[in-house]
A and B are shown apart, each in its own frame.
Chain A
Amino acid sequence: MLPPPNVPPGEPPAPGGARPQASPGPGGATRDGQVATEELPLAGGQGTSEAAAAHTAAAPRRRVGEFVVAAVTIALGVFVVVDAGTIVVPGAAGTMGPRAFPYLVGGLLLGSGLLVLVGLLRGRFGEEDDGEDVDPDAPTDWKTVALLGCIFVAHVYTINIAGWPVAATLLFGGSAIVLGARPWWRAVLLGAVLALVIQILFGGVLGLSLPPGPFLEGVSLFRG
């Protein structure tokens, strides 16, 4: 019988530096005593106290967010109803003019927004979507989302300046790196290959020519 590896079962990584992607540079190995057993995302036991703390710590911010969302909904409902009033009704509109449905929709927005608000006041907060690939206990990583948004915007502006393949490489490579791909050049390389393949496929096979951009203008393969 083997001596079991000396392990505190399910010992969670330290809360702050828990997420490997946050660790900078080469010195980022997490050490959890002698042996850290793999921690599956839904592990119960010792994992939950730390995770629960992270969860409730996030909760106050989410609560504010919830109220904001409800408020926005109600405001939107009001706006829709008011703006519907400005829709020009031509004389021969028939029994139901262009304003009727907007009024209904605005009313629905208003009504359901109020329902949500009432629910919030009674303590019923929304359950966040638990897709299968989501870590339910992790705090929200706003930085990553913001970075992805910026890369997306950069992609949009690059399409017409430098051509689609470059823009696509930027999008794929940038997103992959932000999401944790290492080393960076591999992500960019893969992005470039993917972008070029798509460019050829679309141009040649599907007949939809994406703008090749200044670098690839000359190559007819990419122009479709």
Chain B
Amino acid sequence: MTVVLAYAPGDLGTASARAAGSAAALLGARVVIVNATRADRLVDPRWADEAELAQVIEILDDAGVDHEVRHLRSGSLPADVVLEVAEEVDAELVVVGLRRRTPVGKLVLGSTPQQILLRASCPVLAVKA
């Protein structure tokens, strides 16, 4: 049984990590942490560094669940990467942090959580900050 956590650094990311930990503990599942970037710019705020990933791992350890990290660079959009991993591991649940965004913001900047919510074939847990 696997729970996929779509992780991006920040308070929202920490909250989603905690939620993923609790959910996985309840389900008796392990967590696959997915953090992806398109590597298309010099500074990507969604790309986690070692310290941040270590923090997530610590949270999951505290929750007592197994984990696996997928730290990926890919030409696909992050939503696609997450969904693909979910397919591959046959996930029971996808956990993603949901940020408030205006409709224009969603159009211009895109909304990964929205894409995941709409296209996932399994239940999605949307975590608010």
Question: Which residues of A are at the interface with B, using a C-beta cutoff of 8 A?
Answer: 2, 5, 13, 20-23, 25-31, 34-39, 133, 180, 182-183, 186, 189-190
Q: In the complex, which residues of chain B have a beta carbon less than 8 angstroms from the beta carbon of A183?
A: 77, 110
On whether the beta carbons of B75 and A38 are closer than 8 Å, the reply is: no
Q: In the complex, which residues of chain B have a beta carbon less than 8 angstroms from the beta carbon of A2?
A: 54, 57-58, 61
Nearest-Cβ distance from residue B36 to partner chain A, whole angstroms: 7
Q: How far is the CA of A189 from the CA of B110 in the complex (A)?
A: 13
> Which of B61, B74, B77 is within 8 Å of A30, CB to CB?
B74
On whether the beta carbons of B110 and A20 are closer than 8 Å, the reply is: no
Q: In the complex, which residues of chain B have a beta carbon less than 8 angstroms from the beta carbon of A36?
A: 71-73
Flag whether B92 is at the interface (Cβ < 8 A): no
**Which of chain B's residues has its CB closest to A181's CB?**
B40
Q: In the complex, which residues of chain B have a beta carbon less than 8 angstroms from the beta carbon of A38?
A: 47, 49, 71, 73
**Which of chain A's residues has its CB closest to B81's CB?**
A29
In the complex with contacts A5-B69, A26-B80, A20-B38 CB distance below 8 A: yes
Q: How far is the CA of A189 from the CA of B108 in the complex (A)?
A: 9
On whether the beta carbons of B75 and A20 are closer than 8 Å, the reply is: yes
Q: How far is the CA of A98 from the CA of B102 in the complex (A)?
A: 67
Q: In the complex, which residues of chain A have a beta carbon less than 8 angstroms from the beta carbon of B75?
A: 20-23, 28, 180, 182
Q: How far is the CA of A21 from the CA of B75 in the complex (A)?
A: 5
Q: How far is the CA of A5 from the CA of B36 in the complex (A)?
A: 16
Nearest-Cβ distance from residue A37 to partner chain B, whole angstroms: 7
9 cross-chain CB contacts under 8 A: A5-B54, A29-B85, A35-B69, A36-B73, A37-B50, A180-B38, A182-B38, A182-B75, A190-B108
Q: How far is the CA of A3 from the CA of B49 in the complex (A)?
A: 16
Q: 6 tightest A-B contacts by CB?
A: A20-B75, A29-B74, A23-B75, A26-B80, A35-B69, A28-B75
On whether the beta carbons of A34 and B68 are closer than 8 Å, the reply is: yes
Q: How far is the CA of A39 from the CA of B72 in the complex (A)?
A: 11
Q: In the complex, which residues of chain A have a beta carbon less than 8 angstroms from the beta carbon of B42?
A: 133
In the complex with contacts A5-B53, A20-B38, A180-B38, A28-B71 CB distance below 8 A: no
Flag whether B114 is at the interface (Cβ < 8 A): no
Q: In the complex, which residues of chain A have a beta carbon less than 8 angstroms from the beta carbon of B69?
A: 5, 34-35
